[in-house]
Amino acid sequence: MSLVNSKSMLQSAWEGKYAVGAFNVVNLEFLEAIFETAVATSSPLILSIAEVHLPFVNLENICPIIRDMALRAHVPIALHLDHGVSQATVWRSLRNGFTSVMFDGSKLPFENNIAETRSIVELCHPLGVTVEAELGAVGGDEGGGLESQADPSLFTDPAMAKEFVDKTGVDALAVAIGNSHGKYKGEPKLDFARLQHINELCGIPLVLHGGSGISATDFKHAIRLGIAKINFYTGMSQAALTAASAFMAASSGRYHDYPLLMQNIKKAVAETVAEQIDIFGCSGQGR
């Protein structure tokens, strides 16, 4: 099937109490591992490309490949811009066939975030493109390179979240409830009472960023309270680096075959994605 937007995908997940995985693509090996695992498990899939990764991922090269892969798949697949912070990047993603965008104005003053996000909604909705936004500040740096810890003073305020959703018309909202990008310092502590309140007030699918490092139990609890999309990258990156290190150590002093290295990395990423799909409860939901 063709690429789809993520609105109905997320609505079904929100109502069905499961979450769709949004897995970040940084190269062809990651793309193949994520895609093949989703197809094998009949899971709906969001292929995510973050603005912070654009120096490493050429959209004009990889997007035609993604569109072709989606045509051959029997599961719904959305192509999503992750943490877009400029209208220029949103435009570039639209020109390359993205069916979903996240505009991240969370660092802007509240009213500016509303205005900028609403302008993105007005641009994307007539094109049938889903819009996600963020309110509050998810800890850490997008890209997952450093350890991070959430700051409770920057968590999403439920009343402000409702006002934000009402005034912008976004399709999904990324919340800050104790989650962080990258590797957590210590055990993450999610504010489930806050999440429940946001879900009750806003009435739209909610998004959890910084999925790597959160326990399966906490994921499942968050899903029951309105999380319908979970972003996941750092865990895949760690799996890839561990596999690469193990391969190089095992073959030290011998001929190094690059395709075998990539095969080991791809296998490790696929195993990590399969584990998350099972936890998120979305296996079989793409039939």
Q: Give the Cα separation of 108 and 176 in Å (integer).
A: 15
Q: What is the number of other CB atoms lying within 10 angstroms of the CB of residue 261?
A: 16
Give the 3-state secondary structure of residue 165: helix
72: nearest Cα among 32, 101, 129: 32
Active-site position among 82, 171, 191, 218: 82
Instruction: Respond yes or no: is residue 82 known to be catalytic.
Output: yes
Burial 85-102 (b: 16+ CB within 10 A, else e): beeebbebbbebbbbbbb
Q: Is the dihedral of CA 161, 162, 163, 166 positive or negative?
A: positive
Positions marked catalytic: 82
